[in-house]
Amino acid sequence: MIELKGVTKEYAMGTQTVHALRGVDLTIADGEFVAIMGPSGSGKSTLMNMIGCLDLPTAGTYHLDGVDVSDMSDDEQARVRNKHVGFVFQQFNLLARTPALKQVALPLMYAGVGRKERTERAAAALASVGLADRMDHRPDELSGGQQQRVAIARALATEPSIILADEPTGALDTQSGEEIMGIFETLNTQGKTVILVTHDPDVAARAHRIIRVRDGRVQQPAAEQRQERHESE
């Protein structure tokens, strides 16, 4: 359960103060499949960072599964991310020269899981995204779609409740993108909360709810969203 109340984010850029978020109230229930959309500079990236515990709000509160995470230290945030959030990035962000199995085991290593259990769980995660036969492959030996699947397996390794994907199909061809979307849908039916950040209306349309961000504010309700999307795209 993600609950943001009156979240604002300001940061200084040169002499100016940028208001990235201006009082966001947002609730995402467990098991939801949502898409966050919005033009560049709308604050959607800041919102994503906030939800992913990569950033802290200037004001307002953020409760993740009932725990206040709005005022945490770097390391506390890192532990929350490790346990609750799986990240999938547009550019995959795999470690160079590292075999798939090790990539996927990395979050488990940071979680302090022993080597044997870690390897087993990483292998299971890779198998669940259809890469059981690619465990020893390095990123440069894998296609874009396969790399993104390794990234998803890595996001799943610690069995977080939330998958946060930032333009996950942005760097992929249509077919690979379709496969990746299929994986997200499967994960959602298995009960994961899936949050996509995207520009692509077709990708966003696969979600069950679209959250539109503009000028640092979340626009609701859903009825207006659909209409606005048709106007702007």
Partner 1 sequence: MNLSESFLSALDTLAAHKLRSALTMLGVIIGVAAVIALMAIGNGVQSSITDEITSVGSNLIVVSPDMEHSGGYPPLSLADVEALADPLNAPAVSSVAASVAGNREVTAGGNSVTTSVSGVTANYFEVVNLGEFQAGDGLTQADVDTKARVVVLGASVASELFDGENPVGRMVKIDGASYEVVGVLAEQGQTLAGNPDENVYAPITTAQARLYADRTRTGKHAVSSITAQARSETEADAAIEQIEATLREAHGLTGDDESDFSTFSQTALLETVNTITATLTAFLGAIAGISLLVGGIGIMNIMLVSVTERTREIGVRKAIGALRRDILGQFLLESILMSAIGGLAGIALGWLLAQAFSLALDATAVVDAQTVLMATGFAAAVGLVFGLYPAWRASKLRPIEALRYE
Query: Binding residues for partner 1, per CB under 8 A?
Result: 49, 52, 54-55, 74-75, 78-79, 81-83, 87, 89, 93-97, 106-107, 109-111, 115, 154-155, 158
Least distance in angstroms from the C-beta of 174 to partner 1: 26
Q: What is the largest CA-CA distance in the chain?
A: 54
The residue (of 89 and 229) whose beta carbon lies closer to partner 1 is: 89
The residue (of 75 and 231) whose beta carbon lies closer to partner 1 is: 75
The residue (of 78 and 171) whose beta carbon lies closer to partner 1 is: 78
Least distance in angstroms from the C-beta of 164 to partner 1: 10
Least distance in angstroms from the C-beta of 64 to partner 1: 15
The residue (of 82 and 176) whose beta carbon lies closer to partner 1 is: 82
Sheet holding 162-166, edge to edge: 85-88, 162-166, 193-197, 33-37, 209-214, 217-219
Least distance in angstroms from the C-beta of 54 to partner 1: 5
The residue (of 38 and 139) whose beta carbon lies closer to partner 1 is: 139
Tokens of 13: 């850029």
Coil, helix or strand at residue 16: strand
Element (H, E) at 62: strand 59-64
Least distance in angstroms from the C-beta of 76 to partner 1: 10
The residue (of 197 and 210) whose beta carbon lies closer to partner 1 is: 197
3-state helix vs strand vs coil in the chain, percent to 5: 40, 25, 35
Least distance in angstroms from the C-beta of 166 to partner 1: 9
How far is the CA of 154 from the CAs of 31, 86, 160, 198, in angstroms? 19, 8, 11, 20
42, 232 in Cβ contact below 8 A? no
The residue (of 52 and 216) whose beta carbon lies closer to partner 1 is: 52
Least distance in angstroms from the C-beta of 162 to partner 1: 13
Please provide the size of the chain in residues: 233
Sheet holding 59-64, edge to edge: 16-28, 2-13, 59-64, 67-68
Task: Give CA–CA dist 139/173, Å, rounded.
Answer: 17
